[in-house]
Amino acid sequence: MKIKFASAPAKGSIAVAAFDKAELSKAAKDADKASGGAISRAISASRFKGGAGDTLVITAPSGIDGDRLVVFGVGKKKPDGNALEQAGAALTKAVLTSGETALAVDLEGIGDADGAGRFGLGAMMAAYRFDQYRTRLSDDKKPSLKTLTIATGDDSAAKDAWKIYGAVADGVYLARDLVNEPSNFLRPPEYAKRIEKLADLGLEIEILGEKEMTKLGMHSLLGVGQGSVAESKIAIMKWNGGKKGDKPLGFIGKGVTFDTGGISLKPGQGMDEMKGDMGGSAAVVGLMATLAKRKAKVNAVGLVGLVENMPDGDAQRPGDVVTSMSGQTIEVLNTDAEGRLVLADVLWYAQKTYDPEFMIDLATLTGAILIALGHEHAGIFTNDDKLAEGLSKAGQATDEKVWRLPIGPEYDRQIDSPIADMKNIGEGRLAGSITAAQFLQRFVNDKPWVHIDIAGTGMWSGSKDARLPTFGTGYGVRLLDRFVRDNYES
């Protein structure tokens, strides 16, 4: 679907706004009058309230030069960006497969140019589909809507805003595609090849293989992938859009392309969802693509550790001890606590090689975060209050919310090992997400750092939010792009 902007809606099927308590906007009042009161009658016969996300479709009303007149709710008379995203998403869902090919949205007087961009972003998020492997999809279930034209008072400013939000939409699509991709098509070498193609956007790409990682002493990461026939990789993406000499912003992602649990085998039920255990890496890849597409005025580096955790005759065993790149030794008591082993070496390599301004890692790391926060918030753990505050504000602004949880030396005893420097799991089910973060902190060397556990937000099949598809959400791209824009670009 393509998003366009115009100064006034063209003839044809149109969408107009309503506010709380079904109060009509000026455009909606005009359409109601033109249609002989069709909107008023339809509202009286429905449960439409005008809240953000409400829609009402009126087919072929008299007096309207189009097949449909759609009323969409925005809630308050001065809706914020999230409400406009929700409105754009709900509207798109209502007509996406209806047979309609083009729809004009009258947003004049509702929000500013940035709001028009947010409306378009919501529409694009709702239009996302992952149909690559569906060969017998009937025509009536295929998307028909090709163009959404948003009419606003200042289409020039809206087009400028779309340079940002269009790039964000592309980044979210990329992240979703990666998470939704079946793991037999996205093993680490193939994943690395797809990342290499992002050089076309202006990113500098470097790929480390097992030979290079062995020389670097990355036995923590390599141990996770040693049971797979697919070679483990680290993909590095650099964007140089800031001042020469400025430290890059550092983003690190867990990219376990499939997680069986290894020898500590997961239960069979639901294991298919472990194709999405690389959601943290997908967010980093999507973010880096977004920064490049919108020509962000920052320097940034994204690093993703790509491995496959399989049970095999050569797989890592519970009780093994490995030496990380940092020189610290790890007793691996559970091979299903593998994401932290991957991140340990990538975090260490990132700070030693690039000395970033900060490091933010994202990972579908623990089931415990789902118990604590469900699907509504990602958990953040950090040694830096300023980073926590910035991410919290960005989360509120984008509806990719985060909630800070504690770390501290009192949790260290849970991961101290009697035979190595540390063990990779804590004590039973106690504070599982916290002890995982505590483990990662041992590899950041007091560098400003945030760990974002997205196990609940990166994969979600039951959301009622029209912006979110089934399964891979692309969580993290909008959050981090907003965080960068608000705090590191003038």
Give burial (CB, 10 Å; 0-12/13-18/19+) of 140: exposed
Q: What is the mean pLDDT of residues 460-466?
A: 92
Mean pLDDT of 5-34: 94
Instruction: Report the pLDDT value the prediction gives residue 241, as an integer from 0 to 100.
Output: 98
Burial of 457 (0-12, 13-18, 19+ CB in 10 A): buried
Residue 270 region, left (φ>0) first, then alpha (ψ -120 to 50), else beta? left
pLDDT for the residue numbered 435: 98
In the predicted structure, residue 373 carries a pLDDT above the cut 90:
yes
Q: How confident is the model at residue 379 (pLDDT cuts 50, 70, 90)?
A: very high
Q: What is the pTM of this model?
A: 0.98
Q: Please give the positions annotated as active site.
A: 266, 340
pLDDT at residue 406 in the model: 98
Q: For the residues 252-268, what does the mean pLDDT come to?
A: 98
- Dihedral angle sign, alpha carbons of residues 480, 487, 77, 148: negative
Could you give the CA distance from residue 209 to residue 215 in angstroms, rounded to a whole number? 10
Mean pLDDT of the chain: 97
DSSP state for residue 196 in the 8-state scheme = H
9: confidence class by pLDDT, cuts 50, 70, 90: confident
Q: Could you tell me the pLDDT band of residue 462, with boundaries at 50, 70 and 90?
A: confident
Whether the Cβ atoms of residue 252 and residue 306 lie closer than 8 Å to each other: no
Do residues 298 and 311 touch, judged by C-beta distance below 8 A?
no
Residue range 409-454, pLDDT digits in tens: 999 999 999 999 999 999 888 999 999 999 999 999 999 999 999 9
pLDDT in tens, 22-51: 999 999 999 999 999 999 999 999 999 999
Strands 299-309 and 233-240 come out as antiparallel
Q: How confident is the model at residue 470 (pLDDT cuts 50, 70, 90)?
A: confident
Residue 153 binned pLDDT confidence (cut-offs 50, 70, 90): confident
Band of residue 10 on the pLDDT scale cut at 50, 70, 90: confident
Domains and CATH numbers, the chain: 2-153 (3.40.220.10), 181-488 (3.40.630.10)
Write down the pLDDT at residue 61: 87
pLDDT value at residue 197: 98
* Helix (H), strand (E) at residue 157: helix 155-180
pLDDT greater at residue 329 or residue 428: 329
pLDDT at 490 over 80: no
- C-alpha–C-alpha distance, residues 359 and 300, integer Å: 10
Q: What is the pLDDT of residues 201-214, one digit of tens each?
A: 999 999 999 999 99
Element (H, E) at 305: strand 299-309
Question: Residue 234: its pLDDT value, please?
Answer: 99
Average pLDDT score over residue span 346-369 = 98
